A and B are shown apart, each in its own frame.
Chain A
Amino acid sequence: DIQMTQSPSSLSASVGDRVTITCRASQSITAHLNWYQQKPGKAPKLLIYGASGLQSGVPSRFSGSGSGTDFTLTISSLQPEDSATYYCQQSYSRPFTFGPGTKVDI
């Protein structure tokens, strides 16, 4: 199985800050990397697919980059509604696996 790690595990930032979350795969997954946002008591929501594709309806302050084993999710100007846990997920090979999550507090 491909193992996914994320850093940091949590962070606290202020409204308007630029926030970067890192995801690393245990082997190359080319660009088969997706990012999800989960708020308490809610289902995860797809933000970014294919490492850098912005899902329809997702604000443009969210962006993704990377390929191979190292990926980043960037929130360019943090908003109060961005308080959530963020997960990366690889779809390069089954079983599809998720990172442990990064909790963002504002």
Chain B
Amino acid sequence: QLQLQESGPGLVKPSETLSLTCTVSGGSSSSSTYYWGWIRQPPGKGLEWIGNIYYSGNTFYNPSLKSRVTISVDTSKNQFSLKLSSVTAADTAVYYCVTISGDPYHFDYWGQGTLVTVSS
């Protein structure tokens, strides 16, 4: 059973870079079975797809965030990461790491989520 766990600072200052890591257990981040991705949810609001990466390194980002987002994978550590630059209060959200699989694509495994607050 695949398990995902997010980690990273819970508080980030405006204009700085948000950095989160997702650790994969019960499977391999080098697997060709999945895409690895990130989704966020502002408090009390809906879900927003941020982007995803394939084991080969190919990335796909939400155009609304593309200029600020980088997703990478470290297969040696069985982890993948999210960096979001120049954050504002609007980036305050619970961030989930997910797997994307199947045809059609669906988000089948989710981390528990981590709240990141942007505040000075």
- The 8 A CB mask of B40-64 against A (1 = contact, 0 = none) is 0000001111000000000010111
- The 8 A CB mask of A11-39 against B (1 = contact, 0 = none) is 00000000000000000000111101000
Which secondary structure dominates chain A's binding surface? loop
Question: What total of chain A residues lie within 8 Å of the partner, measured CB to CB?
Answer: 26
Q: Do B104 and A49 have beta carbons less than 8 Å apart?
A: yes
Which secondary structure dominates chain B's binding surface? loop
Question: What is the distance, in angstroms, from B14's C-beta to the closest C-beta of chain A?
Answer: 25
**Interface size bucket, B side?**
10 to 19
- The 8 A CB mask of A30-61 against B (1 = contact, 0 = none) is 01111010000011111001100001000000
- Choose from B49, B64, B111 the contact partner of A43 (Cβ within 8 Å): B111
A100: chain B residues at CB < 8 Å are 46
Q: How far is the CA of A42 from the CA of B105 in the complex (A)?
A: 22
Q: Do B106 and A46 have beta carbons less than 8 Å apart?
A: yes
Q: Do B49 and A34 have beta carbons less than 8 Å apart?
A: no
Q: How far is the CA of A91 from the CA of B102 in the complex (A)?
A: 11
Report if A87 contacts B (CB, 8 A).
Answer: yes
Report if B108 contacts A (CB, 8 A).
Answer: yes
